[in-house]
Amino acid sequence: MIKVKARGNESAEQMLRRFKKMCEKEGLVKDIKRNSYYEKPSERKRRRIRKSIKRTILDR
């Protein structure tokens, strides 16, 4: 769970901006968008394979 505490004289807008950055960093927005529609098992498998290939290329 992401929690944001106010720092000193920080405004609500600055806290909201920090919260959004934390959500983006955690991949929360991407995960919500992916779960908002049905994904066929074959598409899920294809996505996982592509992700693992990207990971192996980056590790080199």
Give the domain range for residue 29. Answer: 12-59
55 — alpha (psi -120 to 50), left (phi > 0) or beta? alpha
Say what the pTM is. Answer: 0.55
pLDDT digits (tens, 9 = 90+) for 7-59: 899 999 999 999 999 999 988 888 888 888 898 999 999 999 998 988 888 77
- Residue 6 resides in a domain: no
What pLDDT score was predicted for residue 29? 86
Three-state secondary structure along 6-49? CCCCCCHHHHHHHHHHHHHHHCHHHHHHHHCCCCCHHHHHHHHH
- Residue 7 resides in a domain: no
- The Cα 44–Cα 27 span in angstroms is 17
- Residue 35 resides in a domain: yes
- Residue 53 resides in a domain: yes
Number of domain units in the chain: 1
- The Cα 4–Cα 43 span in angstroms is 36
